[in-house]
Structure 1
Amino acid sequence: MPKKILTLEFKDLNELHKALGIAGTKHPLFSIIKFEELPALNNSKEAKLIFDFYQITMKTSFPCSIRYGQSTFDFNEGVVSCFGPRQSSIIDPHFVYAKSGWLMNIHPDFLRTYALGEKIKQVGFFDYEINEALILSEDEQKSLEIIFQQIEREYHLPIDKFSQDVIVASLEVLLSYFNRYYERQFVTRKINAGGILKKFDLLLNDFFQHKSNQGLPSAGYLAAQLNLSTRYLSDLLKQLTGLTTQQLIQNKIIDLSKDSLTGTTLSVSEIAYQLGFEYPQSFSKLFKAKTNQTPLEYRQSFN
């Protein structure tokens, strides 16, 4: 019988502040906390944490482990992690806070009337897993520290009609830096990432050879097989190939279907079912969109 894990859900920021043993928020929808100012955590059990708001953490020296799925990850250098609302994580019984850095909490309503409110929903790294955190160089860490310090200063000033505008503007700059540094991280890891691309292609081939009776392969399935989040895999593949996971799946479908159309006498419907399509019309529609020909037109062009 699996052991029961304590689950803690936080629906608003003041609930979190109370649980952390610190004063309430200066703004009901936004807070920024320095790790070194948090009281020691008395935690003797594994706990699953779920928050109804965005969280951004920048940690320098992080002597603890966090578990995602079946893997445990240790951080002992400057890292940035971003979490979207309702994203869960499990902390171990010996969890301690980072020695320095910041924890930023942003309720979606804080951004609701700003363009950033919609933009942040499209930002990929809020869907990344903890093992896909942004590892900072010394210069990058210094640049981000300046922005975090600016936001912290503004947060502690008396609230006026410009306070929220200033913080949101700083958040936009912060996310732009995250995008830049993640791009660098993808580039510097390209050698290792090439192995992921090879594994991805092998997984696709294996799926179509042995599992097409289960339907079409999904981006989520392939990411899980590679121990990556769906969003991170897609962003990584886009950096490596210029194509998203879904586009690469579709290209593989077209390549395999072309082989069948020119090398076998199978009907279009039989090929569609063989590839995992539930409806042959869906296959024909995709083929036409990708090649500007129907499957039959493509086959006839080789006769």
Structure 2
Amino acid sequence: MKHTAKDFRVLASVSDFTQHFGFPSPAHPLLTIVDLAQHRGAPAPSLVGPAFRQLYIIALKKNLKGTIQYGHRAYDFSEGVLAFYAPGQMCENNETVDTSELSGWLLAFHPDLLHKYPLAQKMAGYGFFSYQVHEALHLSAREEAMVDGVLHSMQLEYGQPTDGFSQDVLVSQLDVLLNYANRFYHRQFLTRRPAEHDLLSSFEALLTAYFAQGGEQPLPTVQHFADALHVSPAYLSDLLRSLTGQNTQQHIHHALIERAKQLLLSTSLTVNETAFRLGFEYPQYFSRLFKSKTGLTPAAYRFSVH
């Protein structure tokens, strides 16, 4: 079924995510951990339409029968149990998904959780968050126990009253969890033939590479990416909108704001210098765009997080 942009529910925060899927309210504004066994037999969220999630999600799902639509691929849980979803991507449950015997856990976190930590720079290197991966990670009993151990430590910290060290501890534990996942991912997929790159995957790779460059660079344009992918700007935007509910310019703005947040929190650049580094000719336009997307000026955002 082809969806229009208005069919997509945008889940911009952890609270949006938990409310949409009927999970308990989060104990931390930027992160939640859900025991899936407590939601066994729950109705499929597809009843309320596909969700465009602006969050990272890691899920260890046991005894889930069926597939989940991830972009335009089916994410197969027939054998593997550990799955990864990146921000800015659409997921939708197949109507035949059976959760009657579901168990495991789900960890969802907002990119803002990482922006002042080195882990933020590492996320683009974790290929298991890509649309190209369309099957869950297979874990041995020993590997699953190791992952569960890290998650249990995170749950203990998550349940503690929040203090000045809470976020540092949670992010460090998340770093360990992702390091394990990276090890297991490479063990499973190094000898397999990579999934064929499609246009969406190629666009994501180009967008990530563009903002990974150091130094000042021009603002990226829709035409730039369309030319690189050998398609028209209109076709690229229509494709992205049909798969994610967001057009090319919206994807660019999202990546631009995420890069701006990293620079504001990890460097001593002034707001004007940050704007120039990102390619803005006029810093005022950068500030207006940043506030329209985050609700805060760049200076206020820097102050609110530090």
Cα deviation for residue 71 of structure 1 reads 4.8
Residue in structure 2 matched with residue 15 of structure 1 by the alignment:
16
Q: Name the SS of the counterpart of 1:171 in structure 2.
A: helix
Residue in structure 2 matched with residue 67 of structure 1 by the alignment:
69
Cα deviation for residue 128 of structure 1 reads 4.0
Matched, 1:48 2:50: yes
Larger Rg: 1
Q: Tell me which amino acid in the other structure corresponds to 2:87.
A: P
Cα deviation for residue 178 of structure 1 reads 1.0
Deviations 1:249-281 (A, max 9, x none): xxxxxxxxxxxxxxxxxxxxxxxxxxx9xxxxx
1:159 counterpart (159, 162, 168): 162
Distance 2:154 2:16 in 1: 22
Structure 1 residues 22 and 73, CA, compared in 2 at 3 Å: closer, same or farther?
Answer: closer
Distance 1:74 1:125 in 2: 14
Residue in structure 1 matched with residue 95 of structure 2 by the alignment:
93
Distance 1:45 1:140 in 2: 34
Residue in structure 2 matched with residue 248 of structure 1 by the alignment:
none
1:150 counterpart (140, 153, 158): 153
Cα deviation for residue 230 of structure 1 reads 5.1
Cα deviation for residue 132 of structure 1 reads 3.9
Q: Name the SS of the counterpart of 2:161 in structure 1.
A: coil
Distance 2:29 2:116 in 1: 16
Q: Name the SS of the counterpart of 1:25 in structure 2.
A: coil
Answer yes or no: is the 8 Å Cα contact 1:124–1:231 preserved in 2.
Answer: no
- Where does structure 1 lack aligned partners over 5 or more consecutive residues? 201-221, 234-275, 277-303
Distance 1:223 1:114 in 2: 31
Distance 1:136 1:229 in 2: 25
TM-score, reference length from structure 2: 0.58
Answer yes or no: is the 8 Å Cα contact 1:46–1:90 preserved in 2.
Answer: no
- Where does structure 2 lack aligned partners over 5 or more consecutive residues? 206-229, 231-306
Deviations 1:10-33 (A, max 9, x none): 111112222232331111111111
Cα deviation for residue 122 of structure 1 reads 3.0
Cα deviation for residue 155 of structure 1 reads 0.6
Q: Give identity over the alignment, percent.
A: 32
Cα deviation for residue 103 of structure 1 reads 1.0
Cα deviation for residue 177 of structure 1 reads 0.7
Deviations 1:154-200 (A, max 9, x none): 1111112211111111111111111111111124xx2x53xx6xxx9
Cα deviation for residue 37 of structure 1 reads 1.7
Distance 1:75 1:136 in 2: 12
Q: Which sits farther off after the overlay, 122-131 or 20-29?
A: 122-131
Matched, 1:127 2:101: no
What is the correspondence of 1:235-274 to structure 2 with a 5 Å cutoff? none
Distance 1:128 1:68 in 2: 7
Q: Name the SS of the counterpart of 1:72 in structure 2.
A: strand
TM-score, reference length from structure 1: 0.58
Q: Tell me which amino acid in the other structure corresponds to 2:42.
A: L
What is the correspondence of 1:1-303 to structure 2 with a 5 Å cutoff? 4=3, 6-38=7-39, 40-43=41-44, 45=47, 47-68=49-70, 71-97=73-99, 99-129=102-132, 131-187=134-190, 190=191, 193=193, 223-224=197-198, 229=201
Q: Name the SS of the counterpart of 1:134 in structure 2.
A: coil
Q: Name the SS of the counterpart of 1:183 in structure 2.
A: helix
Answer yes or no: is the 8 Å Cα contact 2:157–2:166 preserved in 1.
Answer: yes
Q: Which sits farther off after the overlay, 114-123 or 62-71?
A: 62-71
Structure 1 residues 60 and 129, CA, compared in 2 at 3 Å: closer, same or farther?
Answer: farther
Structure 1 residues 135 and 47, CA, compared in 2 at 3 Å: closer, same or farther?
Answer: farther
Answer yes or no: is the 8 Å Cα contact 1:45–1:92 preserved in 2.
Answer: no
Distance 1:174 1:7 in 2: 30
Answer yes or no: is the 8 Å Cα contact 1:46–1:93 preserved in 2.
Answer: no
Cα deviation for residue 134 of structure 1 reads 1.6
Cα deviation for residue 68 of structure 1 reads 4.2
Q: Tell me which amino acid in the other structure corresponds to 2:37.
A: E
